[in-house]
Amino acid sequence: MMKTKGFTLIELVIVIIILGILAVTAAPKFINLSSDAEIGTLKGIAGAMKGYVTTSVAEGYIKGRNGPPINSATYQLGNVGLIAYVPRGDDDTLTGEGTDGNLLPEIYEAIELDVVGAGMVHARRVLNGWYAPVLTYKSQVSVATPSAEQIIATNCYVDYQPNPRKAKVVVVISGC
């Protein structure tokens, strides 16, 4: 009598069922990868902002000690408008300053952030007498032009809070 080697149809069906059950239980862990990518991007943007602010403040101190004093008036660092050593939180069209007219807050220009290309939206609010822009993904809000309050309500945003020599960058990811 000949012995055949292989799997029976029942054994194959059982293995397929087991693999299906494993796939159903493991899939939710991998479906959320886009959220992880968005969180990572927001953290990266916040890190770039913090780095630029630190650099601009340091350059302001150096210029203030070794050259003509820099006061709180607006001046340029490259193509970026600064006030009291930190990138401004408003945009060119609202102040009439700057030449590029691209409607972005100076901090976004400083880190070369393409808000539209990244699928993001931003708004600004007044905070301690300074314009403070806040940024999130378009997918987080239900309107095309959200207010700063609507963006903050998403709990998934980067908030730039300029103050003379003490700019602060806050990233909130609990709602992403």
Q: Which pLDDT score is estimated for 75?
A: 60
Q: Is pLDDT of 170 > 90?
A: yes
Residue 169 identity = V
On average, the pLDDT of the chain sits at 79
| Residues 79 and 109 sit within 8 Å (Cβ to Cβ) | yes
pTM: 0.71
Please compute the mean of the pLDDT values over residues 31-57 and round it to a whole number: 87
The DSSP-derived string for 83-113 is ETTEE-SSBHHHHS--S-----BHHHHHTT-
Q: What is the pLDDT of residues 62-103, one digit of tens each?
A: 766 554 545 545 566 666 667 777 777 765 544 444 444 456
Q: Is pLDDT of 56 > 90?
A: no
For the ranges 8-22, 92-106, 154-168, which has the lowest average pLDDT? 92-106
163, HSE (Cβ side, Cα atoms, 13 Å): 8
* Residue 56 CB neighbour total at 10 angstroms: 21
Q: Return d(Cα 48, Cα 85) in angstroms, integer.
A: 16
For the ranges 16-20, 98-102, 122-126, which has the lowest average pLDDT? 98-102
Which has more pLDDT, 146 or 167?
Answer: 146
Q: What are phi and psi of 68, to 5 degrees?
A: -65, 140
